[in-house]
């Protein structure tokens, strides 16, 4: 077996968490790190974090553990990236949200809606004369299973969100930031130097 085959076997799904400042163009810079290395992004979500003024990226890729260490170092060199982590699926709690649009007439006549909602923890979002929209959340396999069930009944439209993930073993970025601020109080908003100092051994 050659090295390339070995690498493919050793690849797994990783969740990358980035804490960042709100810099214009940062998203494209993050994406370019993966593009240059020909790494496909499976999922990408950005949102405000628990700390005011600091944003959180959640990026899902399939790679080897060895490459992940190098990748994180490159990401942390980007201007505006405060801290970067990576975790396997076993180390995070994650969900994806999905919407399913179905013909209302089919639902009324052929589908046991109550059973469907109970089985997949889904809920009705909108009911119109010509269509009904369901919402369900879970892992990729769960939302995919619901697609396969609804497809024969005339699934009109389907969309799935990017993954959101919480790190299991973590005190959270907020508590670390507050501890740093307590030890090194600043009168105003966090400066870039202040945020950079957080990464020097405070967060693990």
Domain ranges (residues) in the chain: 3-92+170-198, 94-164
Residue 186 CA from chain centroid, whole number: 32
Cβ within 8 Å of residue 134, ≥6 positions away: 99, 100, 102, 116, 117, 122, 123, 124, 125
Q: How far is residue 117's CA from residue 136's CA, in Å, rounded to a whole number?
A: 9
pLDDT, residue 201, reads: 46
Can you list the positions of beta strands (E) in the chain? 12-20, 41-48, 55-63, 81-88, 92-103, 123-127, 131-138, 157-160, 164-167
Strand, helix or coil for residue 59: strand
In the block, which residue shows the tokens 């993930």? 165
pLDDT, residue 162, reads: 95
Q: How far is residue 179's CA from residue 172's CA, in Å, rounded to a whole number?
A: 11
Topology, domain 94-164: Alpha-Beta Plaits (3.30.70)
In the block, which residue shows the tokens 């994650």? 94
pLDDT, residue 93, reads: 95
pTM across the whole model? 0.77
> Biggest alpha carbon distance in the chain?
65
* CB of 137 closer than 8 Å to CB of 96: yes
pLDDT, residue 189, reads: 46
Level-2 CATH architecture, domain 3-92+170-198: 2-Layer Sandwich (3.30)
Query: Tokens in use for 82?
Result: 């405060």
End-to-end CA separation in angstroms for the chain:
37
pLDDT, residue 182, reads: 59
Residues in the chain, total = 204
Cα–Cα distance list, 47 to 20, 40, 63, 165, 174 (Å): 10, 21, 24, 11, 15
Q: pLDDT 10s digit of each residue in the chain, 204 long?
A: 555 555 667 899 999 999 999 888 999 999 999 999 999 999 999 999 888 888 999 999 999 998 999 999 999 999 999 889 999 999 999 999 999 999 998 887 776 776 777 788 888 899 999 999 999 999 999 999 999 888 888 899 999 999 999 988 867 666 666 665 555 554 444 444 555 555 544 443
Q: How far is residue 133's CA from residue 180's CA, in Å, rounded to a whole number?
A: 46
Instruction: Enumerate the β-bridge partners of residue 93.
Output: 166
Q: Do domains 3-92+170-198 and 94-164 have the same CATH topology?
A: yes
């Amino acid at each position: 077996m050659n090295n390339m085959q070995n690498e493919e076997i050793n690849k797994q799904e990783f969740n990358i968490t980035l804490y960042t400042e709100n810099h214009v163009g940062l998203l494209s810079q993050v994406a370019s790190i993966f593009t240059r290395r020909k790494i496909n992004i499976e999922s990408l979500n950005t949102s405000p974090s628990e700390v005011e003024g600091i944003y959180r990226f959640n990026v899902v890729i399939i790679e080897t553990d060895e490459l992940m260490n190098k990748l994180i170092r490159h990401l942390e060199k980007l201007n505006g990236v405060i801290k970067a982590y990576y975790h396997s699926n076993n180390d995070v709690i994650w969900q994806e949200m999905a919407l399913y649009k179905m013909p209302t007439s089919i639902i009324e006549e052929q589908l046991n809606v109550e059973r469907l909602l109970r089985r997949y923890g889904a809920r009705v979002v909108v009911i119109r004369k010509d269509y009904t929209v369901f919402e369900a959340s879970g892992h990729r396999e769960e939302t995919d299973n619901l697609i396969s069930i609804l497809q024969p009944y005339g699934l009109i439209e389907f969309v799935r969100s990017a993954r959101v993930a919480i790190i299991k073993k973590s005190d959270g970025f907020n508590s670390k930031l507050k501890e740093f601020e307590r030890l090194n109080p600043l009168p105003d908003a966090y400066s870039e130097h202040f945020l950079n100092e957080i990464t020097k051994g405070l967060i693990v």
